[in-house]
A and B are shown apart, each in its own frame.
Chain A
Amino acid sequence: METVTWLLFTIGIALILAKIGDSIIERFELPGVLGELIMGMILGNLVYFGLVSPHYLPIVSGQGFTTDITQISEFLAKLGIIFLLFLGALDTDIDQLKSTGVTATVSTVLGVFTPLIIAWYALMAMGYPSREAFAGGVLLTATSIGLTVRVMMDLGVLKSEVGAASLSASVMDDFLGIALVIFAVGTGSLLNLTVKIVAFFVITGVIWWYLVDYYIKFAERLHVEKGILGMALGMMFLFAALAEGWFAAAIEGAFMMGLTLSKLPEGKRMMDDVRAIGYGLLIPFFFVHTGAMLNLTVFEHRNALVLATVMSLIAVIGKIIGRGFGAWITAWGRGRSFLTTRENFWMSLQMGIGSIPRTEVALVDLMVAIQGKAIPPKDAPDFVAATLIFITVSVLITPPLLKWAFKAEIEKAKRARAEEKIRRVQETKERIKELKGR
């Protein structure tokens, strides 16, 4: 019984610290998730450094700390991932995705595969096995749109061609990042895995796409409290179980269920309830739990630092080159004559820089890769450290880089605002003159 007491204590502390950390970091206009990770890191290292017994703070697992109770907190964190992905998919605007242009599509594909392939080969060159190196590459694939959107909004360029394309590309990035992790954690022959993947997406993405409407109508007829939410979550867990059973990636099931529900008004209406469960409990716990996995003693060895440096460099350069080049070769649909222009270069560079930030999906992929043993337990601390570092680097360098890349647009907007002010002052002066004349 006493262990349950300490588990409840840990959940309570984790949630309170998560919300405080989130609030503090948001004040610096950085993603609140960093605050939650830092709080988790502090909690975890109280245990790693022997300041608190793991018995009283069962939030760290692996590295010799795994017990029955820590497995429960690990499972809670896993539920957090499932809800995060379900919510992310529910929030997706499928119609917007359907209207995605060529530039966003090409730049997404290149923006995903360039860092993936570079990291895959770089990590293999560093001595990591192919499967683990591939998993490391997958961590770098998905962009976190949140920070880019915020900075672009601040700069007043979100509605620009680059802003709109960045938005679409980042949503697609997430899709690919989430899908690719299957290849990292999936086991068996490539043919077997491919068959399972195709079967899974046919069931959850095609057949279910047409059946979900009937299912929700059936749920409506049950006339029970939160019946529709319960039925939707029930099906989400069934999909998650299928995905976990087939390729050790429960998130795929949650994501597909969210995506199919997102096309229905009934699905959108349940978002507030899902948000309450997700962001009120499970998701912050997942981030704190992930932060707690960062054992600072890992930096006593060179490996973690080298891995972090390599992954940070690839995260930044791979995205700028991949997505930027993808945008550049399409010439933004303006024909060949635009290809070699200065404008095409700058727009493509802006697109590339906008894709640098990584946060949630990278952490989700990391956890899936660790739990699916694509990243073996012995290397997990290094990858946790490297991921948290490249996430921090990516969110810190993006705002100033975006400001630099959009400096011409910012100047133009400033000039337009100044001219507008001058025009208004002149109009007022003329009006005063006119009134005096009367």
Chain B
Amino acid sequence: MGLEETLETFHSLKVRAVTPRPDSMPIVEEGTGILDVLKILRTRHHVWVVEDRETMKLTGVIRYLDVIDILLPPEAHRFRLGMTGRTMKSALGGASSAGDVAERHPLTINADATVLDALMKMKKYKIQVLAVVDDGKLVGEVSLRILIDELLRLSRVGGAQWKP
């Protein structure tokens, strides 16, 4: 299979087919302490925040770059209309749990959407990871790393070779 065909197959894949199982994803509950979140972020680029592990209701996401807002003292932020959301994430300012520092309303995609849909959404909103949800419940994720892995896997299976 040539690269073009591989990419076509790749684009038409359902998100459901590439998403990892929730038990292998970085997920914490809202009440989880900030230090535990930071431990996960040493090796991952994001952490999903759910109401609790039983319902898996998605409430937010903490991204790698959010760590800056968490670590900065409150006075490093500007307290102005339209900017208080970031300031409230400061650990020195009182934020103590994952729920305090998570970005509410993360971007999501349906498990039945295609990889092309996911890529388009990532491009439009300049983000690298989307939550895969089913009726508000976190069932997986799709990130650029996962998509690269999947493309390389498809390439190997189909015998496609990248031309230099």
* A84 and B124 contact, CB distance less than 8 A: no
Does B26 sit within 8 A of A, measured CB to CB? no
Contact present for A84 and B82 (CB under 8 Å): yes
Q: Does B71 contact A (CB under 8 A)?
A: no
Evaluate contact between A265 and B107: CB separation under 8 angstroms.
yes
Chain B interface secondary structure, helix, strand, loop or mixed? Answer: loop
The answer to whether B146 has its CB under 8 Å from any CB of chain A is: no
What mask results when residues 265 to 282 of chain A are scored 1 for a CB within 8 Å of chain B, else 0?
111110100110011000
Determine the interface band of chain A, counting residues with CB < 8 A from chain B.
35 or more
Contact, CB under 8 Å: A268 / B103: yes
User: In the complex, what residues of A have CB within 8 A of residue B84's CB?
Assistant: 91, 145-146, 149
Give bound CA distance, A267 to B103, whole Å. Answer: 12
Q: Is the CB of B83 within 8 A of A265?
A: no
The residues in A between 125 and 160 inclusive whose CB is less than 8 angstroms from any CB of B are 144-147, 149-150, 153-154, 156, 158-159
Q: Is the CB of A91 within 8 A of B74?
A: no
CB-based contact A269/B125 at 8 Å? yes
Q: Is residue A434 within 8 Å, beta carbon to beta carbon, of the partner chain? A: no
Minimum C-beta distance from B80 to chain A (A): 6
Pick out which of these stretches binds chain A: B5-13, B40-48, B92-100, B154-162.
Answer: B92-100
User: Could you tell me if A91 and B82 are in contact, using CB atoms closer than 8 angstroms?
Assistant: yes
> In the assembled complex, which residues on chain B have CB atoms less than 8 Å from the CB atom of A223?
120
Chain B interface residue count, Cβ-Cβ cutoff 8 angstroms = 29
Q: With an 8 A cutoff between CB atoms, is A55 at the interface?
A: no
Provide the residues of chain B in CB contact with A361, threshold 8 Å: 81
* A431 vs B163: C-alpha distance when bound (angstroms): 64
A207 to B84, CA, bound (A): 28
Known: A33-B80, A147-B79, A220-B124. A156 touches B85 (CB 8 A): no
**A111 lies within 8 A of chain B by Cβ:** no
CB closest chain-B residue, reference A144: B81
If A264-B105, A269-B125 touch, whether A153 touches B90 (CB-CB below 8 Å) is: yes
* Cβ–Cβ contact B94 & A159, under 8 A: yes
**Which of chain B's residues 66-113 have a Cβ closer than 8 Å to chain A?**
74-75, 78-85, 87-88, 90, 92-94, 96, 103-108
Contact with B along A86-113 (1 / 0, CB 8 A): 0110110101000000000000000000
A150 to B74, Cβ gap below 8 A? yes
Partner of A268, one of B78, B87, B93, B105: B105
Contacts of B88 in A (CB 8 A): 149
A269 vs B105: C-alpha distance in the bound complex, in angstroms? Answer: 9
Contact of B75 among A93, A150, A220, A267 (CB under 8 A): A150
Identify which of B79, B82, B104, B126 contacts A31 (C-beta below 8 A).
B79
Name the A residues within 8 Å of B1 (CB-CB): none
CB-CB contacts below 8 Å: A242-278 with B: 263-269, 271, 274-275, 278
Q: Which residues of A contact B125 (CB under 8 A)?
A: 266, 269
Q: Is B17 part of the binding interface, using a Cβ–Cβ cutoff of 8 Å?
A: no
Known contacts: A265-B108, A269-B125. The answer to whether A158 contacts B82 by CB under 8 A is: no
Q: Which residue of B lies closest to A361 (CB)?
A: B81
**Interface presence of B127 (CB below 8 A):** yes
Contact of B92 among A91, A153, A269, A360 (CB under 8 A): A153
Contact between chains at B82 and A275 (CB < 8 Å): yes
Cβ-defined contact, B81 with A269, below 8 A? no
Task: Give chain B interface residues in 123-143, CB to chain A under 8 Å.
Answer: 124-127
Q: List 6 A-B contacts (CB under 8 A).
A: A149-B74, A153-B90, A153-B94, A154-B74, A154-B75, A263-B105
A sample of 16 more A-B contacts (CB under 8 A), given A84-B82, A91-B81, A271-B82, is A31-B80, A33-B80, A144-B81, A146-B84, A147-B79, A153-B74, A153-B92, A153-B93, A153-B94, A154-B75, A156-B94, A159-B96, A228-B124, A266-B107, A267-B105, A275-B83
B contacts, CB < 8 Å to A: 74-75, 78-85, 87-88, 90, 92-94, 96, 103-108, 120-121, 124-127
Q: Lowest 6 CB-CB distances: which A-B pairs, in order? A: A146-B79, A87-B82, A153-B93, A88-B81, A265-B105, A153-B74
